[in-house]
Amino acid sequence: MKNLKKRLQNGETLHGCWLNLGSPLTAEIVGLSGFDWVLIDLEHGAGTEKEALAQMQGLEHTAAGIVVRVESAEPQRIQRILDMGAEGIMCPKINTPQEAQKVANGLHYPPIGQRGVAKMVRATQFAQNFQTYYEGSQENVLGIVQIETRESLHHLEEIAQVPGVDVLFIGPADLSMELGIFGQFDHPMFIDALQRTIAAANKAGKATGILFFNPNDYGKYHQMGIRFIACGADGTFVADGAKNMAEKLAQFRSAL
């Protein structure tokens, strides 16, 4: 465990990025680059659970904590990924406190939650370390729910109060689409939604997160109080690097 939950509770700002290529090699490269955490995306990314396992193995020796975005809050999805060794789970489109509670139930063993018990899994070092993992799971497993719908904005305080929910993570694309202002992240409606989410999280002693792709936006969001910050993705890094190199070579060729 890379202590993501404890570090957030201590007030640290943690930097991360998305992994959407499904590749253990790009996961390892990104994990070695200095991020505090990385997110393996099973909602929109190219990989499946099989690729997620390989990516976790590639990330094991890096300093980056492993978060996985699952497709839904179904307990089977959550517990399979936790058994593989993820430190945190992100669930998309959480609308109500009841849905948030379903996420929390999948994250933790009884009596706190309803996570199924399996010892012979990677997270417990294949039964060699089950007791230690079990005793520390409540303190170490990070629960992240995404705020990205109109309905969720009506239940922010209730969602934030759910035990086991540690981060309210704003999904800018989906939320702005729902608000009818797609991509207008400076629009008053979007800023108001951000501020309300941050206020609800702060009131409950929880953290707020967001994903953005322009690093120049860092100061704006950090000043608002967002501390679980993601910028960029492995696919973007590869695409930008490849395009930059191709353009440089084309410039040299045209100068001949």
Strand, helix or coil for residue 67: strand
Task: Classify the C-alpha dihedral 3-209-244-48 as positive or negative.
Answer: positive
DSSP letter for each residue of 159-225:
HHTSTT--EEEE-HHHHHHHTT-TT-TTSHHHHHHHHHHHHHHHHTT-EEEEEES-GGGHHHHHHHT
Give CA 254 to chain center in angstroms: 43
- Is 154 among the residues known to form the active site? no
The answer to whether 85 and 55 have CB atoms below 8 angstroms apart is: no
Residues annotated as catalytic are 44
